[in-house]
Amino acid sequence: MKKLFRLLFLVLLMLAVGLVAKDVSVKGYYRKDGTYVAPYHRTSPNNTKNDNYSTEGNINPYTGKPGTKPRDPPADAPAAPAQAAPSEAEKTPEAPANVSPAMTRKDRWHSLNSKMEAADVEKLLGKPETTEQATLLTWKYPDGEVVFANGHVLGWRQSSDSTADASERQ
């Protein structure tokens, strides 16, 4: 009887270890901007980064690459100082609804993608100063313009980054 309990205990222990240490297979998927992400393996989600393959001191057993991201601070370490908020010059004076006021204007332009519709762009950048309708619809802002075709973003140009259009960002 003792042997049976020992055997049962060992089986349960191995099952528990197997459940805790399992990797997760992530299926391939498409990002919002249309980029395909190939299937991959990662560690099971938990409340620390220290056991992730991408964390310093760890090696991804599937790729052999060493981790580069910083480890979590010890639980008794003092909290890191808060990061400075963007300056008033970097913020948009009137943040559109559903957009963080701390998000800089440049970040908003960099969030554009060819899957967006006019309503998405308006939420992100606000109402355009002017619009032009020729063959394509163009929304003009003080710091750039967005061009639409068939109801979706075809491209955009930000005045400080005149080469940023949808075809170059994908």
Give me the mean pLDDT over the 81-90 stretch: 59
Give the burial string for 6-27 (b: 16+ CB within 10 Å, else e): eeeeeeeeeeeeeeeeeeeeee
What is the model's pLDDT at position 53? 82
Predicted confidence (pLDDT) at residue 99 exceeds the cutoff of 70: no
Give me the mean pLDDT over the 3-29 stretch: 69
What is the spatial distance between Cα 105 and Cα 143, in angstroms, rounded to a whole number?
Answer: 9
Q: Do 118 and 62 belong to one domain?
A: no
Structural domain contains residue 116: yes
Predicted confidence (pLDDT) at residue 170 exceeds the cutoff of 60: no
Structural domain contains residue 4: no
Q: Give how many domains the chain has, as a whole number.
A: 2
Structural domain contains residue 100: no
Give me the mean pLDDT over the 10-35 stretch: 72
Question: CATH number, domain at 161?
Answer: 3.30.1450
Burial of 170 (C-beta count, 10 Å sphere; 0-12/13-18/19+): exposed
Give me the mean pLDDT over the 60-78 stretch: 81
Average pLDDT, the chain: 76
Structural domain contains residue 111: yes
Give the domain extent around 140.
105-169
Q: What is the pLDDT of residues 123-168, one digit of tens each?
A: 888 899 999 887 888 999 999 899 988 888 888 888 864 444 444 4
Q: Do 114 and 165 belong to one domain?
A: yes
Predicted confidence (pLDDT) at residue 90 exceeds the cutoff of 80: no
pTM of this structure: 0.39
Q: Which residues pair with 147 in a beta bridge?
A: 138, 155
Structural domain contains residue 95: no
Structural domain contains residue 87: no
C-alpha distances out from residue 11 to 23, 157, 166, Å? 20, 62, 55
Structural domain contains residue 134: yes
